[in-house]
Structure 1
Amino acid sequence: MTIGFDADSGPVLWLFAAFVVTFVVTRVIVRLIRAGKGPFRDAAIGGVHVHHHVYGIFLILLAGLAEFVYRPGPPWVQVLAGVFGAGAALTLDEFALWLHLDDVYWTEEGRKSVDVVLAASLVGLLLVLGARPFDDAAGEGRIAFAVTAAVNLVFSVVAVLKGKSSSGVIGLVISLVAIVAAMRLAKPGSLWARKRYPSGSRKLERSRARFPPDRRSRWARVADRLAGAPVKKKAQR
């Protein structure tokens, strides 16, 4: 993987900027709605609350269709990149909703949306800087690259299974993050812990001690600053 600005960073920069700006603006608006301040209100059609990931899906589809059909050059390719980035932000901001198939936006489960957005933002920043983890390698290096990418993917998947989704996503670009997360204890509620940490085992006890229910990590505190503190029970917005 190499890092450095190149000609391909233009559309990626527009995508990344639109993604970050849209996420920040969206979170400001929904927090104002939650607090009952400002002119903003929930969108509804026929009494049905229209979540903003619906708009995001349409923007992604629009940008993708236009890119595949017209293959535009500058400046329209940058415009489409911006539209795609905005749509991605609206969609990922409600990642927890379409993962759980329930409106968990303001609950602890809703933190998954913020985790995914922050991880995606870091990946986007690295792409803007020219990081291309899946660039094709020439000659004999192709085999080494394929093996390295496969091993890195395994560590990332293990990290996700251990309940460390953010580290798993970031680890796709920064291998060390995935490796460290995969080697450490799984969170007690994760799929890895449920399958590999039997009830009463030493590992499960260590996991519960390491990740108590009321523990707030630094990452969680950052998420709270961005998205507002979660509530214990589901709150409609």
Structure 2
Amino acid sequence: MGHWLHRNIIEPGKLPLLLALASFVLTFVITRVITRLIRAGKGPFGNVKAGGLHIHHVVPGVVLIVIGGFGAVASERHGFGSAAFAVVFGIGAGLVLDEFALLLHLDDVYWTEEGRKSVEVVVVTAALVGLALAGFLPFGVNDLSQEELRDRGGVILSVGLNFVFALLALSKGKGRTAIFGVIVPLVALVGAIRLARPGSPWARRFYRKRPRARARSSLRAYRHDRRWAGPRRKFQDWIGGKPDSENLPIPPAS
């Protein structure tokens, strides 16, 4: 284990990234535990207020991100300072992204249906950083051999193609696929060649006069959402807690 850690993490200079990821995930987990205890009225915790104003934890999170980010830039890559500032940055990022939905909606939607976006963003962020830590590089550069890396034209072609695939997936309404496709090119390629989701820019532009394509797109999206919406919601509820019942969507009348 020690040899693996030194060869794959410390020697390539990835220790700050590992510490940032660990502190990010741990901060999010601890924050969610505390907020759920506060919500249930248990434990010694309570909301932080100053003069009647509720101070959300995104505020100290922003401060820590600024300190950790600038500190990491100013410190040496392999020094103790870089590792320490990486931890500070990870803690700040965990606090900020835990309230991502609040920043997006500019409203306190923490325990509402819209608040699920915070959990989703945290999971996606942790997964992307984990892939980068495992050695995946943006736009598939990690798939190139040393000879190809020395060939500037090959690198530019590879990056360009993978960037186009990611853009195509995004235009087809497959945001998660496009994001992960930046790191894992095969994912972007799959998203680029599959049917677009209804309402996406690609569907509005190319399916407008193709009723059969529109019907296939709507049917595939319906089947996909029906299959995965339930498990995804349960996973989000397990991590972040269920939204308030009064904020849950009302099912359509039968």
Q: Shorter-chain-normalised TM-score: which range?
A: 0.7 to 0.9
Is 1:106 aligned to residue 116 of structure 2?
A: no
Deviation string 1:70-126 (CA, Å, 9 cap, x unpaired) is 447532211111111111122222222222323333333322222221121112222
Question: Which residue of the other structure, out of 56, 61, 76, is the alignment partner of 2:61?
Answer: 56
1:79 corresponds in structure 2 to 84
Task: Provide the aligned length of Structure 1 versus Structure 2.
Answer: 231
Q: 1:219 is matched with which residue: 232, 239, 242?
A: 232
Q: 2:25 aligns with which of 20, 23, 26?
A: 20
Structure 1 gaps of 5+ residues are none
Segment of structure 1 superposing worse, 12-21 or 184-193: 184-193
Q: What TM-score comes out, normalization by structure 2 length?
A: 0.74
CA 234–21 in structure 1, closer or farther in 2 if over 3 Å, else same = same
- Unpaired segments of 5 or more residues in structure 2? 1-6, 249-254
Greater Cα shift, 8-17 or 89-98: 89-98
Name the structure, 1 or 2, with higher relative contact order (CA <8 Å, separation 6+).
Answer: 1
Q: Report the CA distance between 1:162 and its aligned residue.
A: 4.2
Identity across aligned pairs (percent)? 43
2:150 match: secondary structure: coil
Q: 1:26 to 1:205 in 2, by over 3 A?
A: farther
Residue 242 of structure 2 corresponds to 229
* Higher gyration radius (CA): 2
CA RMSD of aligned residues (A): 3.3
Q: Is the 8 A contact 1:103 1:234 kept in 2?
A: no
Amino acid at match of 2:236: A
- Contact preservation (8 Å) 1:9, 1:127: no
Deviations 1:24-43 (A, max 9, x none): 11121222222222222222
Q: What is the CA–CA distance in structure 2 between the aligned matches of 1:94 and 1:129, rounded to whole Å?
A: 27
Q: Partners in 2 of 1:230 and 1:159 — Cα distance?
A: 30
Q: CA deviation at 1:209?
A: 3.9
Distance 1:61 1:144, change over 3 A: same
| Runs of 4 or more above 6 Å deviation | none
For the 8 Å contact 1:120–1:169, the answer to whether it is kept is no
Higher relative helix content: 2
Q: Give me the whole-angstrom Cα distance separating, in 1, the residues matched to 2:106 and 2:217.
A: 28
